[in-house]
Structure 1
Amino acid sequence: MSKSPVTDSAAYLEKKRFFNNILTVYGRKPVLEALEDPSTDIYRLHLASSNRSASIMDDIRKLAEKKGAEILYHDRAALSRISKNAKQDQGVAADLVCKKFQSSDDFLADNLGKKFRLLALDGITNPQNLGMIIRSACAGNIDGILLPQQGNAQIDPLVIKASAGTVFRAPILRCEDLAKTLTRFIDKGTLVCGLSSHAPANLKDFSPDAACIYVLGNETDGVSAKVNALCNTSVKIPMNNGVESLNVAVTAALIAFQ
């Protein structure tokens, strides 16, 4: 007799969706600046119990309390596990609720049949590039940014600064493996578009009838072979004066405002 498949409870799935909205920010100044942004919501403020009194710490606590955050105290080892950066957390971490963060699977389920436009990031390791890509996508005509957990720069204070704080409002779609995620989108009829100087169509003339994901690759090596093999269409950005390529963040901006 075969066993019935185990399904997750509704309560578990709701909790999982909530934590997909969480972005943990660390460091005194980054946390303070995040809390000063009127658009941010905070779930929990984590403080090292060994922190010495300081005016910036008082300001952080007051802002967190004003926003209704739960304030928790930890030993330094526990706090470093939360921040994942013991050298730079300065005894402070905050769990921010970013309402446009979600899993790629939830986005796909909610947008079946829609003509969405996404960016997929395949090995964007420079924090400044990642921040500028997020800023352009947030400002432009992009419905989501596929950001795998591995292989890209993490969203840290450098990324937040380069994004000019737009990361808190950006539609980040979290996934574990980009190739597997793209395959799921392809199975639902999504185009996956690479950028190639040999492509027949120019970006400015490209207007697909289906949902489309534009893949942006590593600053040095470009798109990985595994992901490139999944691209089922491609476009080019014509270059003048012998210029061979553009910075990946500039390319993202051109796509976002196409």
Structure 2
Amino acid sequence: MNKTDSEAYRDKKRFFENLLTVYGRKPVLEALQDPAVGVYRLHLAESNKSADILEDIIAIARDKGAEVLYHNRQALSRISKNAKQDQGVAADLVLRGYKTHDAFLKDAAATPFTLLALDNINNPQNLGMIIRSACAGNIDGILLPQKGSAQIDPLVIKASAGTLFRAPILRCTHLATALKDFQQHGADICCLSSHARHTLKDFQPQGACIYVLGNETEGVSQEVEKLCNQRVRIPMNNGVESLNVAVTAALIAFR
């Protein structure tokens, strides 16, 4: 934001930055049915034919105070960013845990938080399962880059079993840049390595710590790996070399 912007403009910009847009009839309905979910706007295609699920969506959205807008298909596709799967419905959600990484840093820089950072996690099912474990466990945030990783879609929502709407998701543009911001505030950046001296069980960070989870096939990228100042390993038996990234996330979340 420009230094000359008014405070009112900055507040408005921050508000819109913290909205999560979801699409698809069933995902939108399930989101609206969650008492913890607020909705700012409901977007509908003008070409939608009458259907019970649409009537339910509209009724719940209005009960929650949402603005209901109708668009042509082209305009709706710009909002959903997925014309093939939006089914004529998208919603801008207000979620307590969904924010930018710098907003989180502003509020929690002095606290010993624990985060998961996702480095090129491309499988939507893995992403959803990671979100579910982090939401249930002792994780204060999931650092999710806008580029290079799977993005939130109906498959992710389904794999998260709805926990996405309550999970602390911290958005950033580039993961390496965000990790540098956290390092400047004293956070340790930790990756998993089979050659590490400390095991995950024995590792005791002294302050804020971010555990990096790498790509399902290639692991942590070189750019991110260079930023890591801590390394831990998970002891393996019976010749097993590694675990699924979602399983690893669960072990970290409940360590």
The normalised TM-score by structure 1 is: 0.96
- Structure-1 residue corresponding to 2:204: 207
Q: Which residue of 1 aligns with 2:134?
A: 137
Deviations 1:66-113 (Å, cap 9, x if unpaired)?
A: 111100000000000000000011111111111111111111121222
Query: Which residue of 2 is the match for residue 22 of structure 1?
Result: 19
The reply to whether residue 122 of structure 1 matches residue 119 of structure 2 is: yes
**For residue 162 of structure 1, what is the amino acid of its counterpart?**
A
Preserved contact between residue 21 and residue 100 of structure 1 (Cα < 8 Å): no
1:196-251, CA deviations, whole angstroms, 9 ceiling, x for partnerless residues?
00000000011111210000010001111000000001000000011000000000
Q: 1:73 aligns with which of 70, 75, 83?
A: 70
Gaps of 5+ in 1: none
| 8 Å contact from structure 1 (residues 20, 174) kept in 2 | no
Instruction: Give 1:53 shift.
Output: 1.1
Structure 2: runs of 5 or more not aligned: none
Shift of 1:7: 4.0
Match of 1:248 among 234, 240, 245: 245
* Residues 215 and 163 of structure 1: CA distance in aligned 2, closer, same or farther (over 3 Å): same
Letter in 2 for 1:42: V
Aligned to 1:105: 102
Q: Does 1:222 align with 2:219?
A: yes
Residue 20 of structure 2 corresponds to residue 8 of structure 1: no
1:143-189 Cα deviation digits (max 9, x unpaired): 11110101111100100011111111111111111111111111121
CA distance in 2, matches of 1:168, 1:20: 16
**2:55 alignment partner AA:** D
Q: Aligned to 2:8, what secondary structure does the other structure show?
A: helix
How far residue 140 of structure 1 moved from its aligned partner, in angstroms, is: 0.5
Q: Which residue in 2 is equivalent to 1:41?
A: 38
Q: Does structure 2 retain, via aligned residues, the 8 Å contact 1:20–1:101? A: no
Question: What is the root-mean-square deviation in Å for CA atoms of aligned residues?
Answer: 1.1
Instruction: State the 1:9 CA deviation.
Output: 2.5
Percent of paired sites with the same residue: 71
* Mapped partners of 1:145, 1:8: distance in 2: 30
